[in-house]
Amino acid sequence: RKDGPFVAVDCGRIPERPCLRVSFSGHIKGSFTGAVTDKQGYFVDRIGGTIFLDEIGNLPYDVQVQLLRALEERKVHPVGGNVDIPFDVRIISATNENLKEAVASGRFREDLYHRLNEFSIQALPLRERKEDIQEMVDFYLNKFSCEMKKSPAKLTPGAAKMLTEYSWPGNVRELRNICERLVVLNDSAQITPDDLWQFKVFSRMK
């Protein structure tokens, strides 16, 4: 499916349940105010492709029921429609939340958890992937320098060592933000350990 259509859905950023259901299943023209045309949902629109459900642990409980039914039957029922539409997509989901604890507390359906958890990958935190840090820092420094039309600065060995030894409690998001801050604040050709302290880039040191 790597050449098929791909969509990433942030389940924590769709505020209203009807909007979430429409996003998944689509709707028929006239089914509600603002539905001026038919619209296919993610499942039908990405036939042969992949849907990435990010922060799946934030799905409202009633939407979890709808998602489970869709995954079990491989069909969706558009809002306002009278027929089910089959779909064929790969589902990838991710979360920072411990779903086993969410299941135990009743916040996440156990049947949906097992339905999604056919194959799982545990992503290592950045502090356990130190060999990736330098390459990622270089990438983001170059990216933000290009966006801001500045010449990319280079890390001195001492600064690179500090970034590698940092514990990165915020993982890749924190690294990205630090790199952007360095590009914004630094006007020299090099970034030194003193710069890292001066610009207060670390939330805490290891």
Beta bridge partners of 52: 8, 92
**Count of C-beta atoms within a 10 Å radius of residue 61:** 12
Range with the largest mean pLDDT of 18-27, 126-135, 196-205? 126-135
pLDDT for residue 206: 45
Tell me what percent of the residues of the chain surpass a pLDDT of 90. Answer: 37
Q: DSSP assignment, residue 33?
A: T
pTM of the predicted model as reported, rounded to 2 decimal places: 0.68
With cut-offs at 50, 70 and 90, classify the pLDDT of residue 11: confident
**Reduced to 3 states, what is the DSSP secondary structure of residue 61?**
helix
pLDDT at 156 over 90: yes
Window from 11-20, 38-47, 75-84, 114-123 with minimum mean pLDDT: 11-20
pLDDT digit string (tens) for 89-145? 899 999 988 999 999 999 999 999 999 998 999 888 999 999 999 999 999 999 999
**Mean pLDDT of the chain, nearest integer:** 84
Tokens at 47, concatenated: 């036939």
Average of per-residue pLDDT across 170-174: 90
Res. 67: pLDDT tops 60? yes
Which residue did the predictor score with more confidence, 206 or 124?
124
Query: What integer pLDDT is reported at residue 5 of this predicted model?
Result: 86
At residue 86, the pLDDT reads 82
Average pLDDT estimate for 2-29: 72
pLDDT at 30: 65
- 58-83: average pLDDT: 82
pLDDT for the residue 107: 92
Does pLDDT of 163 surpass 80? yes
> Using 50, 70 and 90 to split pLDDT, how confident is the model at 19?
low
Are 191 and 178 within 8 A, CB to CB? no
Q: Is 30 left (phi over 0), alpha (psi -120 to 50) or beta?
A: left
Q: Is the pLDDT of residue 7 over 80?
A: yes
Asked whether the beta carbons of 51 and 90 are under 8 A apart, the reply is yes
